Homo-oligomer: A and B are copies of this chain.
């Protein structure tokens, strides 16, 4: 292990895309639900559009254009627009709530639970996600993610990449910035974490966007961050956990 990583005591994780496969999970539920409801929808497009709506909505919060809004509620707002656009009608309130909560039922990547379980034996592990606490808690129960604590955006009412979120990680864990490592598949998240003094670990998730047209997955070269890994088990290996 690199000497500068020997002092790391906690690893905090981005979740959507880094720990769980949001796209395949939303598509799978959409397909099953569409068949039951006899809907003819391109669920890949539906999933991508739902995810695409997330950043502009969060940016409105970040710029103070709308008050603090939980990610669950942002998911619901975007869903309402998508239902109109895809001409899906007649849903009950209960169905809308259940469908919004598909984001609480996302499958972990195949290496996530094993990697986190290994890391937990040596380090404090916690999500540092834009997802609210209830969403993260339910998602973790659904996928068996063995976090020590749930940290993230809601505790400070700021969305990443606002600096406040990264600062809150070492503040709440009572650690120094360099004792906390941000782990993510997205370089913008890691750059912001580094600016706040955290260590950084990149996790390569080449399948995050499937074959979809929405985005090219981020990649990184050795040396771009404190650690570059291909999975959470690889991360655990490199952190000697």
Residues on A lying within 8 angstroms of B by beta carbon are 70, 72, 124, 126, 132-138, 140-141, 147-151, 154-155, 172-175
Contact = CB atoms under 8 A, between A and B. Distances in A.
A124 B141 CA distance: 8
Contacts of A134: 172-175
B148 A149 contact: no
Given A140-B148, A150-B150, A155-B155, 17 more contacts: A124-B137, A124-B138, A132-B172, A132-B174, A133-B149, A133-B173, A133-B174, A134-B173, A134-B174, A134-B175, A135-B174, A136-B149, A137-B148, A141-B148, A147-B149, A148-B150, A149-B150
Contact of A149 (B72, B149, B174): B149
A172 B172 CA distance: 16
Contacts of A136: 149
A124 B173 CA distance: 22
The complex is assembled from copies of this chain, and their number is 2
A154 B137 contact: no
A174 B151 CA distance: 16
Nearest to A134: B174
Nearest to A155: B155
For A126, A149, A172, the residue with the greatest tally of chain B CB atoms inside 10 Å of its CB is A149
Nearest to A104: B174
Contacts of A133: 149, 151, 172-174
29 contacts: A70-B174, A72-B174, A124-B137, A124-B138, A124-B141, A126-B137, A132-B172, A132-B174, A133-B149, A133-B151, A133-B172, A133-B173, A133-B174, A134-B172, A134-B173, A134-B174, A134-B175, A135-B174, A136-B149, A137-B148, A137-B149, A137-B173, A147-B149, A148-B150, A149-B149, A149-B150, A150-B150, A154-B172, A155-B155
